[in-house]
Every structure is written in C-alpha cells, then in structure tokens.
C-alpha cells in the first residue's frame, strides 16, 4: 500500500499509549485498507513488535506486510533503570540497546524480532540507522540480509536512515530491494534529490519516505515546533508558515500537502507515517485519497517555496537537482 503506518508511537514514543488504543489503531488501518506496517526492536524496547504481532495474530498471514529492522540488539537488564525517555520512549527501561551490524548480530536480531512478532518470517528487513557503522553494515550486515532473503526468512531487504549519501552508497553497491529515507524528501528538505532518488531510479530500488512532517514542523508550524527533533530555526518556521498560507488558499491542510508531496518523484513507492490513534490513521488515509487542486503546486513554485526542478505530484519528472 502507498501508505504504511509506523509503530513507534504505538510503543510510547514521547508519551504512553495503552495496549487497547494501540490495537484499535492497527484495526483502524486495516479497515481503511492499509495492510503494511513498519516496526523495529528500537521502538519501545520491543513493545512495538509485540503489540503489532498481537494485533495481527488473527489476520491471514498473506494479507499483510510487516517490515522490521536490524542493527540494535536488546539485552535485558538485571534491574530496570527507570524509564526509557532518554531514548524517546515512555516505557520501563527493562533492556539496553547494543549496536551490532555483524552477520551473527543481524541474524540474532531478526530471530528475536520474529519471536516478539509471533511470526516465522517477515516481509521486509532493513538495516536501522547504520550511520556510524558503515563498514560492518556494508561488509557484514547486508550480505547476511541477502542470505536471509535467500533462505526465505525475509522477503525483501534494504536500509533505513536519515542520511542520503550513505543510503545512496547502499543503493549503488549492495543491491537492496528498497530503502527507507527519513526527513530528506519533504516540502522543507529536498536533499534526497541530489543523490538518492536519481540513484534509486537508476538501479530500480523502491524508496519509502518517512519523516514527511520533519518531526513536527510541517504538521503544526508554530513557535517551538520541532524540525528534525530540535526546535525549528526561525527561517524554517517562516517557510513552513508560508507553505501553510498557500495551502490554505487552495483549501488544503498543510499536513495533506506534506503527505502527498513525496509521490512527485517516480522512485517513491510509499510514505511512512506515524499514528497513535485510530483517528490519526483515518485522517492520513483520507489525506492520501483527497483530490488536490491543480494550482497548488504551481503557486508553491511561484512563491519560491518549491524550486522549479523539484518534481511534484502530477508531473513525475524525477529530475536531478539540489532543490
């Protein structure tokens, strides 16, 4: 499906979410035809995988797609150390995360994810944030993912991270099926157009775009809003407010435009969006289906808010450029 819910929020990202609400959110996605879900051990120290697995347990296995990630192992602590909010999750700190992009670590991570999910295979496995671990990720982790794919334990393999230069290297050197790019192909940040998107198109690698709201600024631009998990600088806040003004003139919520923008590039296969409630999932599905006025993108270009070389939905040019 072109829209895939992430499950970090269902595992207490920034604030707690109850088990019933998490299950209802997955049910809501199912009801609107969204059957692809993204998760990871990192999210809530395994809670996201456990909750997703429980919510899908009675669904036909061939009817949904699950993507999880490898690169962090979870080691139990002898005694819990308060909460995990230092890592972003409002859950008890029962485990510690240990980076491991070695072949054995990748296999062990996937085995533990399968146990938490209650599955015997996953559809997609991604290396998770290998920014500071490029060498073992390239030389050990990706070859191991290829072996796991050959064994049928995973269906498709790839990499998920924020930095496009290393993602582009994976695309060119390691034959992934897809990559997840967070925050670098949005209404405010077009940097993926320099390298990643052209390379993905050239090599036939699908791109899933995450972080379309740049961690908050494009969802609700206001003083104190965050851009890439820090307070947004004044010039970006001003730009986001101008984007919202133009969208409003066309009767389009900024969130809707932000969700739809990535599909302007032909390498983009899907958008990943968070949701901590059934309402948020339903609204995202409605935003994806809503008709957009033809003049919206034109006016954004005319106002200097989108460069001319940035492809937008409807023209599918996919041209290169710095944006």
CATH number for the domain spanning 42: value is 3.20.20.100
Q: How many CB atoms lie within 10 A of CB 150?
A: 9
Q: Is position 224 within any domain?
A: no
Does some domain include residue 316?
A: no
Closest C-alpha to 187, from 274, 283, 305, 268: 305
Looking at residue 314, its pLDDT comes to 85
Instruction: Name the pTM for this structure.
Output: 0.94
> Does residue 91 belong to any structural domain of this protein?
yes
Tokens 């699950």 map to which residue?
66
Give the residue numbers spanning the domain of 26: 1-160
| pLDDT at site 315 | 74
Handedness of CA 106, 111, 117, 120 (dihedral sign): positive
Whether 92 maps to a domain, the answer reads yes
pLDDT of 3: 95
Structure tokens at 311: 């492809």
Note the pLDDT tens digit of each residue in 230-249: 999 999 999 999 999 999 99
Residues assigned a catalytic role: 43
Spatial distance between the Cα atoms of 85 and 92, rounded to a whole number of angstroms: 9
Whether residue 259 is contained in a domain is answered as no
What pLDDT, on the 0 to 100 scale, is given for residue 174? 98
What pLDDT shows up at residue 322? 34
Q: Mean per-residue pLDDT for 68-81?
A: 96
Task: Indicate whether 290 belongs to any domain.
Answer: no
The greatest distance separating any two alpha carbons of the chain, rounded to the nearest whole angstrom, comes to: 60
Is 96 inside any structural domain?
Answer: yes
Look at the chain and report how many structural domains it folds into: 1
Is residue 298, in this structure, part of any structural domain at all?
A: no
Banded pLDDT at 274 (limits 50, 70, 90): confident
Q: Return d(Cα 317, Cα 299) in angstroms, integer.
A: 18
Check residue 321 and give its pLDDT: 36
């Amino acid at each position: 499906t072109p829209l895939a819910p992430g499950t970090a929020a269902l595992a207490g990202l920034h604030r707690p979410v109850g088990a019933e609400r998490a299950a209802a959110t997955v049910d809501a996605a199912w009801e609107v035809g969204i059957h692809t879900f993204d998760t990871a051990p990192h999210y809530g120290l395994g809670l996201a995988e456990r909750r997703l697995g429980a919510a899908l347990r009675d669904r036909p296995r061939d009817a949904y797609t699950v993507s999880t990630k490898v690169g962090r192992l979870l080691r139990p602590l002898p005694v819990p150390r308060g909460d995990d909010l230092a890592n972003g999750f409002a859950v008890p700190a029962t485990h510690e995360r240990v980076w491991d992009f070695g072949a054995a670590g990748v296999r062990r991570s996937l085995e533990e994810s399968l146990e938490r999910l209650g599955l015997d295979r996953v559809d997609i496995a991604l290396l998770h944030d290998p920014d500071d671990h490029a060498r073992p990720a390239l030389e050990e982790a990706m070859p191991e993912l290829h072996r796991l794919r050959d064994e049928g334990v995973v269906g498709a393999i790839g990499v998920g991270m924020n930095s496009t230069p290393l993602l582009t290297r994976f695309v060119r050197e390691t034959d992934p099926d897809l990559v997840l790019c967070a925050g670098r192909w949005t209404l405010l940040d077009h940097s993926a157009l320099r390298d990643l998107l052209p390379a993905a198109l050239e090599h036939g690698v699908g791109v899933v775009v995450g972080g379309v709201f740049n961690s908050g600024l494009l969802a609700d631009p206001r003083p104190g809003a965050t851009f890439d998990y820090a307070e947004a600088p004044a010039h970006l806040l001003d730009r986001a407010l101008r984007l919202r003004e133009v969208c409003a003139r066309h009767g389009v919520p900024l969130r809707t435009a932000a969700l739809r923008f990535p599909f302007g590039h032909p390498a983009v296969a899907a958008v990943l969006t968070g949701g901590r409630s059934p309402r948020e999932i339903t609204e995202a599905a409605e935003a994806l289906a809503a008709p957009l006025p033809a003049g919206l993108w034109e006016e954004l270009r005319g106002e200097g808010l989108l460069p001319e070389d940035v492809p937008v939905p409807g023209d599918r040019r996919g041209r290169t450029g710095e944006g």
